[in-house]
Structure 1
Amino acid sequence: MGVLNSLQVDLGARSYPIEIGQGLLDGLGDGLKPLLKGRQMAVLTTETVAPLYLERAQASLTAAGFDVTPIILPDGETSKSWQALNQVFDVLIGARFERSSTVVALGGGVIGDLSGFAAASLLRGVNFVQVPTTLLSQVDSSVGGKTGINHPLGKNLIGAFYQPKKVTIDIDTLRTLPRRELLAGLAEVIKYGIIWDAELFARLERDLDAFLALEPTVVAEVIHRCCAIKAEVVSADEREAGQRALLNLGHTFGHAIENLAGYGEILHGEAVAIGMVMAADLSHWLKLCPGNDVARIRELVERAGLPLHAPKHAVEAYMDAMSRDKKVEAGVMRFVLMRGIGSAMISSDVDAAVTRQVIEAYAVA
């Protein structure tokens, strides 16, 4: 029990620690006390997470001297909306929050994104803390400061870069995570291996069963490696002006899949898994990536229990949805492509006809 791994996201005066371990919810308040001047705090969570972890988190924070206001929202992508954001603002403003106050995100990526955007916007910025409870949020969305909400025309189109004061990852929360959610988070873990670390990818091939059995040492080490990769990328490119876009492998296809399916019908990680396989195939068709690496990616995604094919829609519907991706520049789609496992690149020089062929292979209506 306790902290198993830790690291620092290096952003100068806005640097912050990430702690990974077991039973960390019970020490949450003591861990935050030295970092925060204000005592006023809101804990944003969901209807599913609240019965599991809110009481423990609130007890720890209260014992450390914080005045806690819980805010419980519905589960799912519907909470990444203007309506939910305004509900949060109503509570925070009604509670007379000040700039020294803190918003704590207790939950998955949706709560983290919404909470961070609320913290970034209220009074032009209050303190923000991430306590991610899903695998996807622990390895990806809780680190790096991306916050925001969805728009009916696209995912994550409205938001801000806003860094937390701390990220506390209690891997014990994964034991109550539905199997489907755990597998969806695994897609983001696989992504780090593909874009950055061939050894991580090979470890997942070797230790997948132990990871899915939630063996603590394996889980903590893999999460630490994913966070370390993201911390390195974010420290070099906080606002996605360059290499941070590599973290979006599979997301150009994936966001279009989510949009066309209707947010919440397909989990984000599931859409990313399909998108990564499509991006790998696109890379192979463009003669960038060896066919053997594409086969290894498909095999690992399939072994992880993740989908390989997208919902059936017209090719032009996918192309239109992808044209609204936030990586588009001067009206041109940019893709994260592979040179092979462990090496990725960003390209805007992709023949639309080849892109259509890949869509046809995976998602023809």
Structure 2
Amino acid sequence: MATLKLELGERSYPIHIDSKLLNQGNLLSTYIRAKRVCIVTNTQVAPLYLDKVKRQLTDFQVDEIILPDGEAEKNLANFEKIMSHLLANTHGRDSTLIALGGGVIGDITGFAAACYQRGIDFIQIPTTLLSQVDSSVGGKTAVNHPLGKNMIGAFYQPKAVLIDIDSLQTLPAREFSAGMAEVIKYGILGDGEFFVWLEHNCDLIKAAHPSVLIEMIERCCQCKANIVSADETEAGVRALLNLGHTFGHAIEAEQGYGNWLHGEAVATGMVLAAKLAVAMNLLEVSELRRIEHLLTAFNLPLQAPEDMGFEAFIKHMRRDKKNIGGKLRLIIPTAIGQSVMRDDISEGMLQQIL
């Protein structure tokens, strides 16, 4: 088992990564402080893993909430559904929520935990690659709004993150590829050696070699843990984790949540950010080509939707959470392994790129 710790003082927590992790009930129960547990999952994950998790919790009083699958379900209506279930089943402040699923389930469950009775415990059990390397770590919780992605939420840390790589065996190929966009992001934004490692281990990653997957996920989680420990609420360096996301969130919002997977939109967003960097003479064309080549190796899109022009992008980008004082703030790669935030990029320059 690979284990690392996200250091946040009294709110620090472990991240465990292994195969057969869902069979280790003694590990899961370590992070539950009372007898009441509610598992939040979805219609795709429940038939695969819900009973396996419940078997590890025979000493607890367990109920569950099964939501529909998909990014479109990360909304206020389902948030209210979770609240109503917790109230109707008399859950108290000592209850624990378990998020069993991908990023949508993790985000909405974490937000519910942050809000219910002003905060209860929750545990992340991410079952998709994207959630394992990114959304389950760091305490960003939220729901979407038709006018913007993740605009309603809170910073709220879990008690633990349990990553079982065996869940990737049931993950559709498209979802695995989408997760690889977030993996590649870490290499571009701050770890050039990891980017090279990904280039060299492409075939083993595609073959789902267990030790390679554990190492890959561990390196991503460690990178994110280091950044979050230094800047929990995104006042500074944590914003670098949004590389590709300003463009990507615009694509998701415009195309309708779920039509483009989050990782697909981020992949295209990273290419657009890199093209912008090339236009600003901040990034070598050869570096852009390496980024495009690695994304292509995992069947990720490089081009924005054909029906999405500048005006469609900019209306969403103007609402981005990183913007301050009406200025667009974008994360731009200056080399593979190095990125910066810029707030001096004109809409005219963006129009040229888009």
Name the TM tier (shorter chain). over 0.9
Task: Give the aligned partner of residue 18 of structure 2.
Answer: 21
SS in 2 for 1:169: strand
SS in 1 for 2:331: strand
Cα distance in 2, alignment partners of residues 291 and 351 from structure 1: 21
By how many angstroms is 1:187 displaced?
A: 0.1
Cα distance in 1, alignment partners of residues 149 and 110 from structure 2: 16
Match of 1:58 among 34, 54, 62: 54
Cα distance in 2, alignment partners of residues 67 and 273 from structure 1: 42
Q: Does 1:47 align with 2:43?
A: yes
Task: Give the aligned partner of residue 32 of structure 2.
Answer: 36
Task: Give the aligned partner of residue 319 of structure 1.
Answer: 314
| TM-score of the two chains, using structure 2 as the length reference | 0.98
Cα distance in 2, alignment partners of residues 295 and 142 from structure 1: 30
> Among the aligned pairs, what percent are the same residue?
52
Structure 2 unmatched runs, 5+: none
| TM-score of the two chains, using structure 1 as the length reference | 0.96
SS in 2 for 1:35: coil
Contact 2:15 2:163 in 1 (8 A): yes
Match of 1:108 among 102, 119, 127: 102
Cα distance in 2, alignment partners of residues 177 and 34 from structure 1: 27
SS in 1 for 2:326: coil
Where do 1:86-105 residues align within 5 Å? 86-105=80-99
Match of 1:280 among 257, 274, 277: 274
Cα distance in 2, alignment partners of residues 108 and 316 from structure 1: 31
Task: Give the aligned partner of residue 341 of structure 2.
Answer: 346
Cα distance in 2, alignment partners of residues 67 and 79 from structure 1: 27
By how many angstroms is 1:144 displaced?
A: 0.1
By how many angstroms is 1:314 displaced?
A: 2.8
SS in 2 for 1:310: coil
Structure 1 unmatched runs, 5+: 360-365
Contact 2:39 2:97 in 1 (8 A): yes
Match of 2:142 among 132, 140, 148: 148
Contact 2:267 2:301 in 1 (8 A): yes
Contact 2:22 2:52 in 1 (8 A): yes
By how many angstroms is 1:353 displaced?
A: 1.4
Q: Does 1:254 align with 2:251?
A: no
By how many angstroms is 1:8 displaced?
A: 0.1
Residue by residue, what CA displacement relative to the aligned partner does 1:296-321 show, whole Å, maximum 9, x if unpaired? 00111111100111112231121111
1:358 is aligned with what amino acid? I
Residue by residue, what CA displacement relative to the aligned partner does 1:2-37 show, whole Å, maximum 9, x if unpaired? x2x11000000000000000010111x311333332
Q: Deviation above 6 Å: which 4+ runs of structure 1?
A: none
SS in 2 for 1:350: coil
Q: Does 1:79 align with 2:76?
A: no
Cα distance in 2, alignment partners of residues 137 and 123 from structure 1: 26
SS in 1 for 2:57: helix
Task: Give the aligned partner of residue 194 of structure 1.
Answer: 188
Where do 1:211-290 residues align within 5 Å? 211-290=205-284
1:8 is aligned with what amino acid? K
Q: CA RMSD in A?
A: 0.8
By how many angstroms is 1:354 displaced?
A: 1.4
Where do 1:293-312 residues align within 5 Å? 293-311=287-305, 312=307
Contact 2:97 2:113 in 1 (8 A): yes
Task: Give the aligned partner of residue 113 of structure 2.
Answer: 119
Contact 2:6 2:229 in 1 (8 A): yes
Aligned residues: 353
Cα distance in 1, alignment partners of residues 28 and 171 from structure 2: 25
Contact 2:17 2:162 in 1 (8 A): yes
Residue by residue, what CA displacement relative to the aligned partner does 1:63-120 show, whole Å, maximum 9, x if unpaired? xx12111110000112211110111111111111111110100000000000000000
